Structure 1
Amino acid sequence: MSVHRGPGSGDGMERVRGRAAVVVAVVLGLLAVMAACARTDSGGRISASQAAVPARIPSGAGLPGGAVDVGFAADGSGFALLAECGKKRCVQRVAVLEKGAGAWRLGTSPLPDVTGDLGITAGLVVLGPGRALITEGTWPPPERTWFTGDAGDSWREATTEPTGTTTTVPEGGVLVENCSRPDEEANGCARSRLAAVMPDTGEYRILADQPPLKGVVIPAGHIGARLYTYGLDPRSGNPALAVSEDRGKSWRTSAMPAGPKGWSMTVVTDGSVLYAAHHGQLSDEDDVKNGLLAIDRSTDGGHTWEQVWKHRKGAEPRSILGAPIAAADGSLTVHGEDGVWRSTDDGRSFSRSAGRGPQGWVTTTPLGYLWGDSFGAGRYRISADGVHWRTFDLGDGT
């Protein structure tokens, strides 16, 4: 799993986690099970003794190739994209895990072989038990998509452009960015809007009520029925969040502390407190590709925010690979390009908790946090509370 290099990056047969995978990982999950089901202690946090048990995901070490993307539904079923690469060709496959199954199986794959130096740009959107969308190409928009509603037994080519509107993001659906004005010079997007991937068809539909933000508006988190999106405040031009508490029917703006404009934002929760990580380019750190600009904290459901950490040259964590881990024990962990950093004072200071170099990339699913190693070896860990983890392996690492 490679680190983010910005729009249009990637060379050789490098396994590129495209923007789709990043967006999808941010949008899904975010500890809905933990927040809804677990009790809290007198301080509002879930105690370690009450922490949720992580899902049991079987290993699939015999699957061919290396895992490129993995996603799960709330019932524990899931999909994985695999790439088996030689010197001149990568064969792309799909693995399927059905609810209660003790092993992964190979499903059919709509993805063509990749030759030359094009790299792997496939992404995965899990839309519920047995339902998924595969995207191919950079995001947004994908070049092609395929949908399955029968656990990977068959796929049909789906839409890449929106086909109408929707008033809400349906249960199982996913909120995604849809570029309405490309930026050709920057090989990116100058203006975007939000769309929902429909869970029963894989169609894209524009959200009828858009958040009151300007610029590039992208999803920043999904906690239960509450959706978070990142963009710029129309009046101040500062980074801002828009929050919907009814699955996208209506929005309110959540003012953020003033800070540098970044690429995106990721909102996570420990069941009580919210944290927002600002991702972006560090102007004074040339050796950092996945910069961490700031961390904000909210104790009132995102109505108000306090900036608890801000980038300073040379101060770690300078980078963040995916989402921060807001754990049930009150700690906040950041996986960066130069190691793993842990805070026990609400994100105000960090100390190293693992060795140097990238240790893994963190995303979120309906089952909780998903950690994948940074070197394509197929080692994964999953946790419903950020404290207790289970490990599983996928693919042979080739």
Structure 2
Amino acid sequence: MPDLDSRLARSRADLLDEIEQPPLATVRRRATRIRRRRAVTAGAAALALLGVVAIGVRPWQQDTTPSVTATDPSVTAPVYRGGGIDIIGLSPAPVHGLNGPIAEVEFSDEGVGIAAAGCDRNCPPLARTTDGGLSWSSVAQSPTGDGPMDVIAFPAGHWLVQGDRWWSSQTGSTWQVVTPPPATDRAVIEPGELPRVDQPLGAIGVLSWDRGPLGPLATQPGLTARWVAPAPAGDGAWWVGGLVGTAPAVAVSRDSGRSWTTTVLPTPADPAETVTVSTLGVEVYAMARNGAGEVLGIYHSADGGKRFTPTFVASGGDNAPAPFTGDPVPLLDGRLLVIQSAGKPSSWWASADDGKTFIPIVDLPAASWIRRTYAGYVAYGLFGGSWAAFSTDGTNWQKLQLN
């Protein structure tokens, strides 16, 4: 007889199948119309003069000064706009000082986030926001210790921090030291838990916000894991990226880690070190990277990951690795957004053909990389400095009142 979790999973799937959803093509058409209206408003039609730039090109010049579209910056925050992307700048409210450069920002939902400063010893207090980054305050009872802190966001606003010790928090406002239990094999990723790559073995373990690491999954994906998604996909699936031998590969579990489906991707000329996955609906993108972080391959699936098609595979020469940094962002209008650090003429690039070619997005502030968090995306290194912005969809960004 199937267990309760299996029956609940099947009931959830049946319910989702019965709910009528707008076709993705319809959503994309609406998003594209919105982007075009924004482009006309901001004068972004000049992008057409830039043409389409092949992915192998290596420009390195930083952005010029972005244009500000706000009519009264003293009252309204400035807006940096280009290619259908909006970045809302700082408001007149005070900027919270972290007492160190921004090292990590995580959001557990669209409002609640935690930020940590980079540190080697005597780490400064964490900062916390409850309004999407518009205001921040120091966490009075922050974790203490030496070395960098890894902040992990969990469902329902729970938190776990790994430093020289493990710390947990139910709300992010107070913290306590956690002593993890003895590791035992875990049959499933329970609700409220997260998978995590256990290095250097490349296995998938399970984390609990209030107990820390619990132990490895009993059934491992058929690859050496290098990356695991910080949050489940929209359909509840967990994605893992890694290697099968020397070939890039991805694995997905649709039953909370009980079983995995592994797909080996076409191998680029240079050896891959890691593979990451980005999803939006049935659209799935995998990126293989070398040890320097350069993109060796982009692979696209339009059927939820059943079949992947290589859209770019580096082979040397003109088809060299692409210098894109961080995580790619699938947009609602069908484009794929990436950051090219020190790019020319822009850090922000977008592809309308699933990663075959990319067009630079001008008039946006320079950025260094994008990272996926539990509840959205964080762009780091804005304006070439220690600024960051948060977005739940990759299109609308809010610069964080934090530095």
The offset of 1:83, in angstroms, is 4.7
1:93 aligns with 2:125: yes
Give 3-state SS (helix, strand or coil) of 2:212's partner. Answer: coil
Q: Percent identity?
A: 24
The aligned residue for residue 325 of structure 2 is 321
Secondary structure at 1:93 match in 2: coil
CA distance in 1, matches of 2:110, 2:367: 28
CA distance in 2, matches of 1:243, 1:68: 29
1:151-193 CA distances to partner (integer Å, 9 max, x unpaired)? 232321443x8622322223332211113xxxxxxxxx3x321
Consecutive unaligned residues of structure 2, counting only runs of 5 or more, are: 1-18, 36-84
Asked if the contact 1:168/1:247 (under 8 Å) is kept, the reply is: yes
Q: Distance in 2 between matches of 1:101 and 1:296?
A: 33
Checking the alignment, whether the CA contact within 8 Å between 1:371 and 1:381 is kept in structure 2 is yes
Matched to 2:137, the amino acid is R
Higher helix share goes to which structure? 2
- The one-letter code sitting in structure 1 at the alignment partner of 2:197 is E
Equivalent in the alignment of 1:7:
none
Q: Does 1:249 align with 2:262?
A: no
Partner residue in 2 for 1:392: 400
TM-score by length of 1: 0.69
Q: How far is the alpha carbon of 1:245 from its aligned partner?
A: 0.8
Residue of structure 2 aligned with 1:304, choices 286, 303, 307: 307
Listed one character per residue, the Cα deviations across residues 27-76 of structure 1 (whole Å, up to 9, x for unaligned) are xxxxxxxxx9984453674731689x999999872233232211111362
Alignment of 1:62 onto 2:96: yes
- In terms of fraction of residues, the more strand-rich structure is 1
Q: Any gaps of 5 or more consecutive residues in structure 1?
A: 1-35, 115-119, 137-142, 180-188, 282-288
Q: Does 1:228 align with 2:231?
A: no
- Tell me the residue number matched to 1:154: 175
Offset at 1:197? 0.9
Structure 1 residue 314 displacement after superposition: 5.6
Residue from 98, 111, 114 that aligns with 2:144: 111
| Equivalent position SS for 2:221 | coil
| 1:176–1:362 Cα change, 3 Å | same
Question: Cα distance 1:199–1:304, how it changes in 2: closer, same or farther (>3 A)?
Answer: same
Change (3 A) 1:271 1:317: farther
Cα deviation, residue 351, structure 1:
2.9
**Deviation of 1:267 (Å):** 1.1
2:290 aligned partner: 280
| 1:364 aligned to which of 357, 369, 372 | 372
**Alignment partners' CA distance in 1, 2:174 and 2:332:** 38
Change (3 A) 1:358 1:295: farther
- 8 A Cα contact 1:98 1:151, kept in partner: no
Tell me the CA shift for residue 333 of structure 1. 2.1
Match of 2:190 in 1: 170
Alpha-carbon distance change, 299 to 150 in structure 1, aligned in 2, over 3 angstroms: closer
Tell me which residue corresponds to 2:247: 238
Give a deviation string over 1:230-287, Cα, whole Å, max 9, x none. Answer: 23337xx522211101221211122322334322111112433211111213xxxxxx
- Give the structure, 1 or 2, with the largest relative contact order (CA under 8 Å, sep 6 or more): 1
CA-CA distance at 1:374 after TM superposition = 5.9
Count of residue pairs brought into register by the alignment: 323
Q: In structure 1, which of residues 182, 190, 202 is the aligned counterpart of residue 212 of structure 2?
A: 202
For normalisation by structure 2, the TM-score amounts to 0.69
- Find the aligned partners of 2:321 and 2:302 in 1 and give their Cα distance: 23
> What code does the residue aligned with 1:171 have?
P
Quote the offset at 1:323 in angstroms.
Answer: 0.3
Who wins on radius of gyration, i.e. which is larger? 2
